[in-house]
Amino acid sequence: MGRLDGKVALITGAARGQGEAEARLFVSEGARVVLGDVLDEAGEKVAVGLGDAALYQHLDVTREQDWQSIVAAATGRFGRLDVLVNNAGILHTESLEQTRVEDFMRVVHVNQLGVFLGMKTVIPALRAAGGGSIVNVSSNAGLEGISHMVSYVSTKWAVRGMTKTAALELAPDGIRVNSVHPGGVATPMILGDEATASGTEQIMSGTPMRRMAEPGEIASLVLFLASDESSYSTGSEFVADGGMTAGHVLQGVE
């Protein structure tokens, strides 16, 4: 038996990277999965590869109407909804002084408003299923400050706070809400156009394990929180950052 047998999950940002890894792992563990993204061609390709257990639908997480449509598609196709993984996110790197309002708000709309809309929209469906799990993907940037990332850091702290508030409100309905806090993950957002090779080197040098995570490593943690194995966990942070937030390593000391 799979760890998610009988469950239906909605995963945002599922066309590539960490979201894609989560979708593939969930299906391998018995779930039926609805993949949401704005990268339609890539998302459709992933869903087709996963077969009848997967459905792709366009989802701009900043649009409430898109959320209503994808939740309706999930329940219409699979009859229920048990899990939401708020995985979609974007990154903007610039000094506080040079960050423009429009760039700051672009990150807020995707990373923060998108999570809020997702949680708000799925509540009736999760309640109808008898409860469920919401997993909000935050970051180690939701636990500490990172220079030149004021917009990203602010949204990831917000996700952490919204998670706790939602957990308190939804616990009586049997809906658990937890946040995941990865460090550097080898995804297109980190390795692609939005980061330089030197930035990647910085991430690895600041990580005690001296490497970035693979998307599948974070997906395994998300799987645990989506499954009944975490049935008494809600309102909590789950960190997978290779030791980045554990403290400071003294260089040259053995």
Is 152 among the catalytic positions?
yes
Residue ranges in 1-112 assigned as alpha helix (H)? 17-28, 40-50, 64-78, 101-107
- What are the residue ranges of helices labelled H in the chain? 17-28, 40-50, 64-78, 101-107, 114-128, 150-170, 188-191, 197-205, 215-226
- Which of 152, 175, 182, 218 is an active site residue? 152
Q: How far is it, in rounded angstroms, from Cα 130 to Cα 175?
A: 8
Give dist(CA 194, CA 199) in Å, integer. 10
Output DSSP code: residue 63: -
Q: Using CA atoms, how far apart are residues 162 and 92, in angstroms rounded to an integer?
A: 21
- Positions marked active-site: 152
